[in-house]
Amino acid sequence: MKKVYGTKLYVPSRAWLQALAAFCLIISAHAASAPEAMGAMLPVADVAGPSHSTAAREDSFSKTAMAETMAVIKEAAAASGLELLRIGHSSENTPDGNSLRIDCGFASFSLLGFCDFMDTLGEELKGMDAGLVSFSAVAESRTARAAATDGPARKGVLKVYTISLSLMHQAPGEKRKLDFDPSLITEYSTILRYCSSRYEISSALLSEHSGELALGGNFSLKGTKKSLIDFMKGLGRGFDIAEKGYGAHQNQLLMPFLMRVYFPKN
C-alpha cells in the first residue's frame, strides 16, 4: 500500500493489484470448467436445453389419441358383437412419436360381426389420418366349453374366428403419407361381407407390406366362381382366384379357393 502524496489516502501497490487480478482470473477459469455447478443454479427447464414444444406436442397427441382410439375400438367391438381379447400399444413400434399403432385381438362366431366392426370403425375414424394396417381372421373349430364367451351358452363343436388387427393413427399435420389409403376399410368390409355370406370363408388376411387382401373359402352351389368374379369387377386394382381341387362335406361338394385382391398403395 502506498500513500497518495499530499493526502491521507492509501492505494494498493502494483504487486497487490497483480495478485488480485491473478486470483480473479483463476476463479473465472475454474467456474467455466464446471458447467454443472452453474447449471444447478438454473431452473430445470433451462438446463434441459432448448424448448421442446414440438416434442411435447407429439407426445401429447400420442397419449391422448391412444386413449381415444382404444375407447373407439372397444365401443365398436361391443356394438358389433366381437369379444375383445386383447388390446395394446407399444412405443417401440412407432419410435418417431408422430404415429400411433394399436394392436388388438377379437373372437367372433361370424365374420359378419367383423364387417360391422370395420364399418363402425371407418365411420369413427373418418376425417382422421387413421385406418387399418393389417388384419387376419382365421376360423378354428372348438368345443362349446372352449369357445365360452359372454353370450348365450352353445353346444357341440363351434366355428370361432380368431381375429387380429392393427390400426395406425397419424398425428394431424404430419407430412409423411401413410402407406395405405384409410378409405379402403369400406372396400375390405364390402368384399368380406359378400364372401362370408356365400363362400364359407376359412381365412381372411390383409397384408401390411403388399396391401393384398387374401381370402380362403369354398365354392359350392350356394356360391359359385362366376358370381364371385361378377361381384369383384371394379373392386380393388385387380384380383386372381386359384382353385385347389375339390372335396365333400356333409353330402355337399366343396371346391376350395384362394382369392387375392390387389389395392393401390400411396
Partner 1 sequence: MNKKSYGFLFISLVSFFIFIIVFDNKNLYAQTSAGDEASVCRDYLDRIKIAAAGLSVNISNEKCAISRDAHGDERLFFEASAGFLEAPELFRFLDALFEKAVTAPSEIAAIDAAPPEKHGGSHACVFSFIKGRASKYAADTRGSHFQAFKKAVAAASSEYNLKLSRFYYLRNGRIDLEGASRSLDGILAFIDHLAAYQAVEKFSCVNIDKKYDARARQFYYRFQISAALY
Q: Which residues bind partner 1 (CB under 8 A)?
A: 1, 13-16, 19-20, 23, 26, 30, 36-37, 40, 43-44, 47, 56, 59, 62-64, 66-68, 70-71, 74, 83-92, 97, 148, 150
Cβ proximity to partner 1: between 86 and 209 the closer is: 86
Cα distance between residue 193 and residue 232, in whole Å: 12
Give the H or E element holding residue 257.
Answer: strand 252-262
Cα distance between residue 83 and residue 97, in whole Å: 30
Inter-CA distances, 247 with 90, 218, 228, 253, Å: 44, 9, 19, 6
Q: What's the closest the beta carbon of residue 226 comes to partner 1, in angstroms? A: 42
Cβ proximity to partner 1: between 85 and 241 the closer is: 85
Cell of 112: 359378419
Q: What's the closest the beta carbon of residue 128 comes to partner 1, in angstroms? A: 17
Cα distance between residue 110 and residue 137, in whole Å: 10
Cβ proximity to partner 1: between 71 and 144 the closer is: 71
Cα distance between residue 42 and residue 48, in whole Å: 10
Q: What's the closest the beta carbon of residue 201 comes to partner 1, in angstroms? A: 25
Cβ proximity to partner 1: between 108 and 189 the closer is: 108
105: helix, strand or coil:
strand
Cβ proximity to partner 1: between 130 and 254 the closer is: 130
Q: What's the closest the beta carbon of residue 139 comes to partner 1, in angstroms? A: 20
Asked if residue 167 lies in contact with residue 131, where contact means CB atoms within 8 angstroms, the answer is yes
Give the H or E element holding residue 130.
Answer: strand 130-143
CA dihedral sign, ordered 20, 25, 31, 34: negative
Instruction: Return phi, psi of residue 16, to 5°.
Output: -65, -40
Greatest Cα pair distance, the chain, in angstroms, is 133
Cβ proximity to partner 1: between 17 and 229 the closer is: 17
Q: What's the closest the beta carbon of residue 188 comes to partner 1, in angstroms? A: 25
Instruction: Return phi, psi of residue 233, to 5°.
Output: -65, 130
Cβ proximity to partner 1: between 9 and 20 the closer is: 20
Q: What's the closest the beta carbon of residue 89 comes to partner 1, in angstroms? A: 5
Asked if residue 107 lies in contact with residue 82, where contact means CB atoms within 8 angstroms, the answer is yes
Q: What's the closest the beta carbon of residue 60 comes to partner 1, in angstroms? A: 8
